[in-house]
């Protein structure tokens, strides 16, 4: 039996979650149920090499009073009394959940939504606005397009959960995929929309991107209601308002209208006889132009002026339009964080209102993805490397193109048979912003033996735990103070700080957006695994959504490759697997069974083929090299680590023999290379998936082990895959990297060059020490973690605690708190080193020669 609990508060909605299982404990094909008899639907998302279940996914429907926890047991699952039902009728698909029927038919996403025998909404569709010039060009022309669905695929058909995937395009550009999630007993559909930008940046400007739905309006205008969520409540109005009039319609009529209930009688004949003279508000707009403010407007018709409504700060992005006989709730998750966004209600005074959730607001300047600078005549690799030396900008003509980058949004539509109360709407709004999730405890996660090297926090190392928490909270605060929000930006963090300007280097080449550089994704996910904290999960979730979509090219020349850190997320010419690596996506996929993240992992099914597209070392090569499918140059650190993560994930998700063969084969090849991982790179033959093992060089890079290589190697070694020599090859690298040059030379014939990121590599020494029992190596690991022996965050580790505090700064654009010694490279690797050192060699921290940092308040 395994217990799962809510990440946050119990949620009255359908929910899907993942559970890890220790190797060999649950046989493949095992059925799962819930001990209390709650109906559950389960499936396997990963298996161990022996065929036993490694990760399972589970789904339950909404409950009026959800339990605080559930016990997963082996056995026959209960089936809902009223299962979600999917009927494939060829030209259309009907999904029935309780009294609600959803009819899916191309070219729309959803052709009709009904409750019992009553149609509530129709023609759910994607819409976009495209213009041919930026806004400052007065000759711009906007063209509106309704997207077309080309294929509809049923991925799951119940009984608890149904998933339907729809693929299509916005006219002749912007391919999209949409997944619709239905749960037994639910009146809502969760919508996950992903699109890929594939335009010409010089002539294609996206001026609006939205989801529109027509809502049937049957009630009298004074019984039609509009609800739009604000930061703490709702704009609650009727299309024809009865409050505030010169003549009183009666207290009961006013009370019923404000509450959204049907008005049975208007007792004052002076009002009843003049209803036709009361204006009907046809259109409403809530426009979130920034993370700091939204405006509200309404009007009586398109031929008349807008009337402003009091504005506000951060709208949660949920609304309702309908009447006493039914209507539709609609919303967009992270509404204000993903600005510019907008909610529109149009034609509410007619028989057919239209609600639109804009993922890019038409009120905002059109999306401009042109490259941010003109290249400054850096036409040769030599000139580009010179530019790299001054601004850290890895520029190359044509490489700053956004072609192929993507973005995913999560939306919801909810059917109502009457106008919901504000309490109901508040619940729905909260669920939109923080969808329910069930999870096992950190100790149960650790017991399963997944994700390699990590452990739970202990009271013995409160100082390091405090620093880990400091770093996380600092980035939470920086995201808020620096407004790291917006359509393309939300989820990422900045790379390096500028002490002089008291700001992050948002405008300096490669020092701006981080794009997974040195693995902040891994830091956040491991911190979540060990603490189970909801705030850490949500931060990591947003980063995974961003880095997997925006920082990676999903179409075109660089499909499957990510872009290194830059002022624009796609701006760097360094297109590598180190950014698109599966190592950064696996956590979220297994914890949530999110199909879109699964798509991103599937894109890497043949990740090795990306080395044909571009040579990562083309600017610094001294040899003559052209990508050869039979001899591709692959780095054994950054590159192979990403390949290994992709192959491992493919193997455990699908039992893919090709992926297994390439993973085990290249592990064996590394093992027989004379210098193993110290060789630096090797030639890969795509036809066989094997390395040429004849190379005898030694080449070490400080970057090899800071993009997930230690984490994936730890997982592979834990799997005990019977690859002789692989563990030794990895331990040799881990052991030698930080040894004195004379010891390195004694073992391999020469001192290793390019040793850097010393603190980050302390965890490699710790790993080797733990595996071999080498006490001196463990002491070396702690010393290099704590003492300034290289470019590291922990320069002040033995100084006062005050050095690890923020300093208020005023007088700039905005008051902020800064910690100038923190950069994302160092924070990420400090955290990973701390977590792994505490896991591997905690008993050696207090040994003689291993200095211990203490708070000035700590007792001696």
**Residue that terminates a domain, selected from 74, 95, 122:** 74
**pLDDT (tens digit, 9 = 90+) per residue, 236-259?**
999 999 999 999 999 999 999 999
DSSP H stretches of helix in 512-656:
520-531, 534-549, 577-580, 586-592, 595-602, 638-654
Q: Are residues 67 and 97 in the same domain?
A: no
Q: Which CATH number fits the domain that encloses residue 155?
A: 2.70.98.10
Paired tokens of 468: 């880990």
> In this structure, what DSSP letter does residue 494 have?
B
Rounded Cα distance between 508 and 496, Å, is 9
Rounded Cα distance between 552 and 562, Å, is 4
Which range has the worst mean pLDDT, 260-269, 730-739, 838-847? 838-847
Residue 3 has pLDDT above 50, yes or no: yes
Q: Is residue 762 within 8 Å of residue 833, measured between CB atoms?
A: yes
Q: Are residues 104 and 143 in the same domain?
A: yes
Q: Is residue 286 within 8 Å of residue 263, measured between CB atoms?
A: no
167, part of any domain = yes
Residue 850 has pLDDT above 50, yes or no: no
**pLDDT (tens digit, 9 = 90+) per residue, 785-836?**
987 555 545 554 434 445 789 999 999 899 999 999 999 999 999 999 999 9
Q: Are residues 162 and 211 in the same domain?
A: yes
Q: Is residue 260 within 8 Å of residue 327, measured between CB atoms?
A: no
Q: Are residues 140 and 174 in the same domain?
A: yes
Q: For residue 808, how many C-alpha atoms fall within 13 Å in the half-sphere facing its CB? A: 3
185, part of any domain = yes
854, part of any domain = no
Mean pLDDT of the chain: 94
Q: Are residues 121 and 201 in the same domain?
A: yes
Q: Are residues 127 and 162 in the same domain?
A: yes
Measured between alpha carbons, how far is residue 332 from residues 410, 481, 488, 833 in Å? 6, 23, 16, 37
Domain range for residue 144? 82-216
- pLDDT > 90 in the chain, percent: 93
Give the pLDDT score at 451. 98
193, part of any domain = yes
Q: Are residues 87 and 190 in the same domain?
A: yes
**pLDDT (tens digit, 9 = 90+) per residue, 373-382?**
999 999 999 9
**Residue that terminates a domain, selected from 58, 74, 90:** 74
Rounded Cα distance between 859 and 379, Å, is 61
**pLDDT (tens digit, 9 = 90+) per residue, 537-565?**
999 999 999 999 999 999 999 999 999 99
656, part of any domain = no
For the chain, state the CA radius of gyration: 29
Residue 696, classified by CB atoms within 10 Å of its CB into exposed (0-12), middle (13-18) or buried (19+), is exposed
Residue 851 has pLDDT above 80, yes or no: no
**pLDDT (tens digit, 9 = 90+) per residue, 345-390?**
999 999 999 999 999 999 999 999 999 999 999 999 999 999 999 9
**Residue that terminates a domain, selected from 216, 251, 272:** 216
Q: Are residues 132 and 11 in the same domain?
A: no
Residue 374, classified by CB atoms within 10 Å of its CB into exposed (0-12), middle (13-18) or buried (19+), is exposed
Reading phi first (left if > 0) and then psi (alpha if -120 to 50, else beta), residue 757 is in left
Rounded Cα distance between 543 and 475, Å, is 12
Q: Are residues 181 and 143 in the same domain?
A: yes
Rounded Cα distance between 383 and 704, Å, is 25
152, part of any domain = yes
Greatest Cα-to-Cα distance within the chain, rounded to the nearest angstrom: 103
533, part of any domain = no
pLDDT band for 778, please (50, 70, 90 cuts).
very high
Q: Give the three-class secondary structure for 61.
A: coil
Q: Report which of 496, 508, 471, 473 is spatially closest to residue 833, judged by C-alpha positions.
A: 471
Q: Is residue 194 within 8 Å of residue 549, measured between CB atoms?
A: yes
Q: Report which of 300, 245, 234 is spatially closest to residue 271, judged by C-alpha positions.
A: 245
Paired tokens of 722: 């019977």
Question: Looking at the 3D structure of the chain, how many domains does it have?
Answer: 2
Residue 163 has pLDDT above 70, yes or no: yes
Give the pLDDT score at 763. 97
Q: Are residues 125 and 174 in the same domain?
A: yes
Measured between alpha carbons, how far is residue 468 from residues 522, 681, 781 in Å? 13, 34, 18
Q: Are residues 91 and 37 in the same domain?
A: no
pTM above 0.75, yes or no: yes
Give the pLDDT score at 857. 35
Measured between alpha carbons, how far is residue 699 from residues 407, 614, 636, 751 in Å? 38, 21, 10, 11
Cα 168–Cα 173–Cα 174 angle in degrees, nearest 5: 65
Paired tokens of 743: 């010891």
Q: Are residues 91 and 175 in the same domain?
A: yes
207, part of any domain = yes
Token pair 């039902």 is found at 85
User: Please, what sign has the CA dihedral across residues 454, 459, 460, 464?
Assistant: positive
């Amino acid at each position: 039996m395994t217990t799962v609990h809510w990440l946050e508060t119990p949620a009255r909605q359908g929910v899907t979650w993942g559970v890890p299982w220790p190797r060999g404990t649950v046989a493949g094909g095992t059925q799962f149920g819930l001990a209390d008899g709650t109906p559950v639907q389960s499936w396997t998302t990963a298996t161990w090499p022996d065929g036993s279940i490694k990760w399972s996914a589970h789904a339950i429907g909404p409950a009026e009073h959800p339990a605080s926890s559930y016990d997963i047991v082996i056995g026959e699952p209960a089936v809902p009394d009223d299962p979600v039902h999917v009927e494939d009728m060829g030209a259309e698909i009907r999904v029935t959940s309780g009294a609600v029927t959803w009819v899916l038919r191309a070219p729309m996403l959803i052709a009709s939504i009904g409750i019992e025998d009553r149609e509530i909404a129709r023609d759910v569709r994607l819409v976009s606005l495209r213009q041919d010039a930026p806004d400052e060009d007065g000759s711009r022309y906007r063209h509106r397009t309704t997207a077309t669905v080309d294929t509809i695929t049923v991925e799951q058909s119940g009984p608890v959960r149904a998933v339907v995937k729809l693929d299509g395009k916005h006219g002749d550009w912007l391919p999209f995929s949409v997944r619709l999630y239905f749960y037994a007993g639910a009146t809502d559909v969760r919508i996950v929309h992903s699109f890929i930008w594939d335009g010409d940046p010089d002539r294609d400007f996206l001026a609006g991107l939205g989801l529109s739905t027509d809502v049937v309006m049957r009630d009298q205008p004074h019984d039609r209601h509009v609800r739009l969520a604000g930061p703490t409540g709702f704009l609650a109005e009727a299309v024809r308002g009865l409050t505030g009039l010169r003549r009183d319609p009666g207290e009961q009529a006013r009370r019923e209208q404000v509450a959204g209930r049907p008005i049975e009688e208007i007792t004052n004949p002076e009002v009843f006889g003049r209803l036709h003279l009361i204006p009907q508000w046809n259109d409403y707009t809530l426009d979130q132009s920034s993370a700091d403010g939204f405006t509200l407007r309404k009007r009586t018709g398109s031929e008349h002026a807008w009337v402003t409504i009091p504005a506000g700060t951060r709208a949660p992005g949920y609304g309702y339009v309908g009447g006493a006989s039914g209507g539709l709730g609609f919303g967009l998750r992270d509404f204000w964080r993903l600005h510019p966004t907008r909610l529109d209600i149009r034609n509410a005074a007619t028989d057919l209102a239209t609600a639109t959730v804009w993922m890019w607001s038409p009120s905002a300047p059109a999306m401009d993805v042109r490259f941010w600078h003109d290249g400054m005549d850096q036409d040769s690799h030599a000139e580009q490397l010179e530019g790299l030396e001054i601004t850290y900008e890895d520029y190359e003509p044509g490489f700053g193109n956004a072609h192929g980058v993507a973005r995913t949004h999560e939306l919801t539509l909810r059917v109502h048979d009457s106008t919901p109360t504000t309490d109901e709407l508040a619940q729905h709004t909260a669920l939109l912003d923080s969808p329910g999730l069930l999870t096992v405890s950190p100790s149960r996660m650790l017991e399963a033996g997944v994700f390699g090297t990590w452990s739970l926090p202990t009271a013995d190392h409160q100082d390091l735990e405090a620093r880990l928490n400091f770093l996380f909270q600092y980035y939470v605060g920086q995201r808020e103070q620096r407004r790291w929000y917006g359509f393309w930006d939300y989820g990422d963090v900045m790379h390096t700080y500028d002490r002089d300007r008291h700001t992050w280097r948002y405008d300096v080449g490669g020092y701006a957006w981080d794009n997974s550089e040195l693995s902040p994704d891994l830091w956040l996910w491991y911190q979540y695994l060990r603490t189970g904290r909801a705030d850490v999960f949500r931060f990591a979730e947003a980063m995974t959504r961003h880095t997997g979509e925006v920082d990676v090219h999903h179409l075109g020349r660089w499909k499957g490759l990510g872009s290194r850190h830059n002022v624009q997320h796609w701006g760097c010419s360094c297109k590598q697997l180190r950014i698109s690596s599966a190592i950064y996506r696996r956590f979220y996929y297994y914890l949530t069974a999110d199909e879109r993240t699964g798509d991103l992992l599937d894109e890497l099914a043949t990740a090795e083929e990306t080395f044909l597209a571009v040579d990562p070392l083309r600017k610094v090569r001294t040899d003559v090299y052209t990508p050869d499918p039979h001899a591709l140059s692959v780095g054994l650190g950054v590159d192979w680590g990403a390949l290994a993560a992709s192959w491992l994930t493919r193997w455990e998700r699908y039992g893919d023999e090709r992926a297994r063969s390439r993973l085990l084969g290249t592990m064996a090849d590394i093992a027989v290379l004379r210098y193993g991982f110290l060789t630096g790179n090797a030639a890969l033959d795509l036809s066989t998936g094997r390395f040429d093992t004849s190379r005898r060089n030694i080449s070490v890079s400080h970057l090899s082990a800071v993009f997930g290589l230690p984490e994936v190697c730890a997982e592979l070694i834990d799997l005990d895959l019977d690859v002789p020599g692989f563990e030794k090859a990895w331990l040799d690298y881990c052991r030698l990297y930080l040894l004195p040059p004379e010891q390195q030379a004694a073992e391999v014939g020469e001192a290793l060059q390019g040793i850097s990121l010393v603190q980050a590599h302390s965890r490699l020494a710790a790993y080797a020490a733990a595996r071999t029992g080498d006490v001196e190596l463990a002491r070396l690991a702690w010393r290099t973690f704590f003492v300034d022996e290289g470019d590291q965050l922990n320069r002040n580790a033995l100084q006062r605690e005050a050095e690890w505090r923020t300093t208020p700064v005023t007088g700039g654009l905005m008051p902020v708190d800064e910690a100038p010694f923190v950069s994302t490279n160092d924070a990420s690797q400090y955290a990973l080193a701390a977590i792994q050192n505490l896991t591997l060699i905690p008993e050696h921290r207090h040994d003689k020669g291993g200095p211990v940092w203490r708070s000035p308040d700590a007792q001696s």
